[in-house]
Structures are given as structure tokens and as C-alpha cells.
Chains A and B, each alone.
Chain A
């Protein structure tokens, strides 16, 4: 059974949100909504594998067009997760496959367990 994250309408346009689907006590993935598109990545910077927000859900730059790791300011492209500036230059965030159902429910695809293991 795929894990439910939220409803699509729970995600604000242009904003990011962290989730802790395995109840680890620490968000382990982030989702960014741009229109009807969702981008989801493991909340782990390729540099040290550590969480990237500076405060709960604070994953984006001021313009909202880049994911930022607030450990050392690394910048990542929204669509590819590729690091364009920072200690992990050239590396990429690990994408997390999501399923958005017709009724607006957002679920993790079953592979997340392996992705974040």
C-alpha cells in the first residue's frame, strides 16, 4: 500500500513542504509544487547527506526558483535536482517518485523505502 502524503490542494503554489512519512522525527523528503507539477526529492544534500531546510519547510531561495541546501548554500535546479553551485557541484538530489491520483490524493510510489534506505 503506497503511503499517503497529502492532498494536492494542501501544497501551496510555488512553495515547498517537508514530509516525514516514516515518522523518523525528521523530514526525509521535500515536495515543491509548480502549477500542477510536483517535484519531490530526498531531503539529503549530496555533500554530507544531511537535511537541507534552515527551518521547517524552508527549502527554496527568495525567488522560489531553486532548491537551496542551508548547510552551505548549495543551489539545485527544480526540475532535475542538479547542483549548479555549492560543495556538491555537478551532483544531484535523489528524486522521489510520487503518484498523484485523479481525486487529488498524493502518494509515495512504493519505491521510496528503497530510495531513502
Chain B
């Protein structure tokens, strides 16, 4: 059997090395390498998808000894929670490479960083060894720092610095928790499967480990009040960086919440369930209200991410609180699907804002107007993505949020107040659409061009998938459900 997981994981790194050894390659060649490698990676991820997952535990596991003296090894594999995220990452990177093919400014360095980031992202989701997980988790930070600092907008240095320091501060408690779990396991190992099967810590120690992990994942997700780095980073990041940051890297937080917090300290998570649920509800509502107050389109979308990731946390917390296994599965199915939907929808939205900014060099909503007549393809695409984002039935977010709310109603009816978030997002998207795309056309933009072929090529797969997940979520849910239904905690 071909080790497809490892091949998929290291293909981008190989591409990065290839770019590095070339002496002063022209941008065309560099972008061709980027698109080809990420395309092959996507192919690998699709093959992984076709191979599927097991009814319980992890599938497609590949391992080699790494540091046997301390029980660390190279272990990768997937289950129904990580596999959709691997596929999502591979897809978003491929699309981002297509979108970025026009970039001329230090193209080789850009492509190398993006490819490094792709390996780090896929590795974070596929790692089954805590050290390996942490290594990929941190590499993604470093690459994103250089991405924002190198290709961002006006105030990029400050934003990049804030992002790096904030998220490093966020990720170090996870290291502490990993060490605690390691020293608690017997025999000492960093094998995440062993930790999931037999949670190594109990009582107060488990609670402390959980608190440390929650801090890490709360910063990463981000949850109010740890979200302040997010708008700054998004506003300053280049479009490619924003797509990856929102589409892929925010999922590190919620994925970690499920994989580490929920699965490795299940009892403590259950005890703290109400608190986590409260954080989720507050994050979702805060994100929606904060988005309502924005005039910058990119900031607006950044804040809706806080809102959508809040729903994921609500779903996970409900799953921990639920006593009825079927309800638990519904909540978790919803939470995982919500991660995938958010990746698709926000990826599309950030791409569209990027395309708009390329043309207008501004993102202030009140500067625009009537763009739907000038750039119908861009306009309708944005409307589709925006409607998906506000949870319209038939589009990607609906099946996910529906399941989360359904489970919430069964377990903690009070928490259903979070549905208010949907009403607010609906309002703010309608406001944004009416300001930017409807109404009087502004003469300033009369020669604005509609999307070109490259841009449509980048956008189309996302829009198609948004509809596909919305209308027939079962093709994703089946894979997710296989694992969530078998989870014991």
C-alpha cells in the first residue's frame, strides 16, 4: 500500500525545496510549481477520502520511529473528524495558489512559505503524535508570521508581530498540557491514540491540563475575549493569507478542542461543559454584534468568523454535556460539518473581498454602490457566499448549524439564545450587500472589470461545494458520522 497520507503531507514541502534550489526562477515557473504541487496534494487528499475511515479509531495509519527513547514517533492517520479538514485544507491551498498566480513581488519566497504552510496545516490535522502535532502547529505560526509581515498591507509589521506573539503565548500552554499528559501516561508515550483510549490524567490534574488546552484553543479559534489578534491580522494579511488563516488555521483551534480537550480529558471537559458552552454562546453573539459595527468589509467577515466558530464550540460543549448518545452524535456531527462549511464559505468571501480590493484598493463599504450592475459575476458570487454565511437553507452552513441548534435545544434549551446570532448576521450581510452591490452606482468605479478567468477558476470550486454541501450534506456527513457515532467518552 502506498503511504498516501505521508506523500500528501510532504508533497508541498518537496515543492518548497524545489523552489529553493532553483536559482532566481521566474515567477511563472514558481507559480507553476506551486499550483502543480498543491494540485497533486489535493489529489492525494481525494485519494485519502476515497480510502475512507474506519468505524472506530484511526484509519490509514502510518508510523516510523522518531525518538523512541522518549516515546515520540512519526505517526499520522485520519478519522472522520480530521479527514474532512485535510481535504478542506488541500482544496483551499490549491485555490489560493490559483488566485495568487498573478503575484510578482518576491514570488519564490511567497510560494515557499505557502507550501510550508500547507504541509504544516495538513500535518496538524493528520498527526497522531502530540509532539508531531505541536511541531506542525508551530511551523504554521512561523510561516503565517512571515506571510503577513512580507506581503500584508500598510500596518503589517505591527499586525504580524501581534499575531506571532499572541498565538505563541496561546500555544505554549498546550505544550504544558502535552507534557502533563505525557508524564501521566504509562508507559510514557506521545501517542495520541493511547491518550484517547486511556485518558492519562484524572481529577485536578486533568482539569489543569484542560484549562491549559482551552486557553490555547481559545486563542486560536478565537473566542471572545482572546480574539483581539484576529481582526488586526486579517485586515493586514494578504488575501491568500486571510483565506488560509480563516479557512484552515482557525480550525486548528476547534479541531484541537475536539481532539485534545474533549477526547483526552473527557471527564474534566464534561465538568467544565457549561463554562465552555457559555464561552461559545458569548463568542457567537459577540462576533455577530461586532461584525454589525464594521464598515470595512474584510473586518466584517473576520468578525463573522468569530461568530461561526462560536457555534462550533457550542456544538462541542453540547456533545460533552449530552447524556443521550444520539444527541451527542448530532451535536458533534454539526460541529465538524460547521468547520468544513466555514472553511468553504469564508474562503470564498475572503477571496471575493480580495478581488474587490484588487480593483478598488479600498474595502470601505460606503465607498461602493451598485456594483452588481458593473460586475455581475463578482456580485452574484458574493451574494451566494453571503447567503451561505448567514445560514440560508440549501447552502453549506445550514445543515451544520441546524444540527447544532437541534442538539442544543435537547440538552440546554437556554443556550438556544445563540440563534439570535443568525438574525444579526442576516441583517449585517443584507446591509453589506445593499451598500456595496445595490443602489446607485458610483461613477468612480464605472470602468471596474468583472472577474477574469483565473479568478472564476479559483472561485468556482468553492461555490459549487457550498451548494453541494448545502443540498446533499450526506457525502461529508457519512464520513464524519462514522467516527462521531463510535466515540466513547
Please determine whether chains A and B interact with each other in the same assembly.
no
B residues with a Cβ closer than 8 A to A are none
